[in-house]
Amino acid sequence: MSERGIFMGEKERKRLKVVNRVIEKDITQEEAAKTLGITDRQIRRIVKEVRKNGDSGVMHKSLGRESNNKISCFDKSRILDLYHQKYNGYGPTFASEKLHEMDGIKISVTTLWKWLTENGLLKKRKKQRVHRKCRERKEHYGQMVQIDGSHHRWLGKEGRKFVLMGFIDDATSKIYGRFYDYEGTMPILDSFKKYVELNGLPNSVYVDRHSTYKAFSERSLSEFEKVMESLGIIVIHARSPQAKGRVERMFETLQDRLVKEMELKGIKTMEGANEYLSEYLFKHNERFSVIAKKEKDFHAPVSPGMNLERLFCTKAEKRIMKDNTVYYEKTYYQIKSKITCSTVMVEKTLKNEIYITKGGQDLRFERLPTKPEKTRLIPKQRFATRVPVVPSLEHPWKIGRLILNTKDESTKTKIQNLMN
């Protein structure tokens, strides 16, 4: 411990021992400088300080003193008041960014974290379990895109729940997203189409085993898988949430930052959230995206002859009835084209347009307002109403019944009359 009541560290103790050996002339100043890794001039200055002030000469003069750049108590209370009023619940990193961006106050994350911890304003987070074996990032942008949907109150605690369909590139962590009412086939196809229009076709996608992305039967494909197959995109199904941890952590960040950003902007509807989302995603990607290991972009460009409206659609194989009609989603369609097949493919686009095809060729058809009446080629023959025949008393059925009741006197008389 020094004379000023400041504890020495290991570095200062070592330095003091060497300086004392110089003072006792056991070693030269040049040897001491090499031992401590400092210059001859610096060792001469330290020796002079130790001779003058004792052991405290090896200590830095500003040690134990307040910094010249220390934030005043007034500024500290002002920043904490702003945090209470505008940024309550924000993490220290995000709060530091917003204070600088919106209030012109520049403060380090460490300092703000220290103040918030002292005042009990930071919530303790549960310690995360040890993660599984780390998987290396893909080397190229567009080589693999992780996709998932997040159900959350994106407009704050008082807002309703809806879904963010989120995309994150595995190599660069660039993200894309779109809000929808639910997580299903049409939302994933619509959001993926918009992603393709913006970036091109990725080489592969990494999704979970939700029914939207994977069919229940191993022998069949979901609508999403059918579209990916037609586009030549590889679909990889994760077997646990931890396997696609990058997209899960993205949702954690967005559920914190994006929700608070929209609250500051006063956004109250899903339509307004979608309008603001493109602005936010640009800032988010600039802040958090990384550079891919290799420069080549694996996104395939959309060719001019590729009709995305027809590619991003649901398909259902339907049987043709005897009157050349097809029943699809509670509606009948009359096929006008001459065909000899028994089934056709009904396609429904994202704009709810219907196409009927066979072998890749569009067929002519019209929508029927009502169910068509059944018509018979050969009219059904109608027969006259049959009159029921009542057997007479002489009928064997009647005689058999009378014989069974021979104890009755009237029955015996009837039998004798019939016998005569």
**Distance (Å, rounded) from C-alpha 273 to C-alpha 250?**
17
H-run or E-run covering 39 = none
* Residue 189 near residue 132, CB atoms below 8 Å: no
pLDDT for the residue numbered 364: 92
Least confident of 173-187, 195-209, 389-403: 389-403
Q: Which pair of structure tokens corresponds to residue 271?
A: 């339509």
> pLDDT above 90 covers what percent of the chain?
39
pLDDT for the residue numbered 242: 81
What are the angstrom distances between the C-alpha of 254 and each of 63, 74, 156?
A: 42, 33, 12
pLDDT band at 403; cut points 50, 70, 90: low
Q: What is the pLDDT of residues 350-364, one digit of tens each?
A: 999 999 999 888 999
pLDDT for the residue numbered 416: 63
pLDDT surpasses 70 at 377: no
The average confidence (pLDDT) of the chain is: 84
**Distance (Å, rounded) from C-alpha 81 to C-alpha 94?**
16
Q: What is the pLDDT of residues 119-171, one digit of tens each?
A: 877 776 665 665 566 778 899 999 999 999 999 999 988 888 999 999 999 99
Q: What is the pLDDT of residues 259-299, one digit of tens each?
A: 999 999 999 999 999 999 999 999 999 999 999 999 999 99
- Residue 207 forms beta bridges with which residues? 237
Q: What is the pLDDT of residues 307-341, one digit of tens each?
A: 899 999 999 999 999 888 999 988 999 999 888 88
**Distance (Å, rounded) from C-alpha 210 to C-alpha 220?**
15
Q: Which pair of structure tokens corresponds to residue 196?
A: 């393709």
pLDDT surpasses 60 at 28: yes
pLDDT band at 3; cut points 50, 70, 90: very low
pLDDT band at 199; cut points 50, 70, 90: very high
Mean pLDDT of 206-235: 89
**Distance (Å, rounded) from C-alpha 239 to C-alpha 113?**
37
pLDDT for the residue numbered 299: 93
* Residue 192 near residue 228, CB atoms below 8 Å: no
Least confident of 138-142, 217-221, 228-232, 290-294: 217-221
DSSP 306-364: --HHHHSEEEEEEEPPTTSEEEETTEEEEE-S----SEEEEEEETT--EEEEETTEE--
pLDDT for the residue numbered 2: 44
pLDDT surpasses 90 at 241: no
Q: How many Cβ atoms sit within 10 Å of the Cβ of residue 176?
A: 21
**Distance (Å, rounded) from C-alpha 258 to C-alpha 252?**
10
Predicted structure pTM score: 0.65
* Residue 167 near residue 202, CB atoms below 8 Å: no
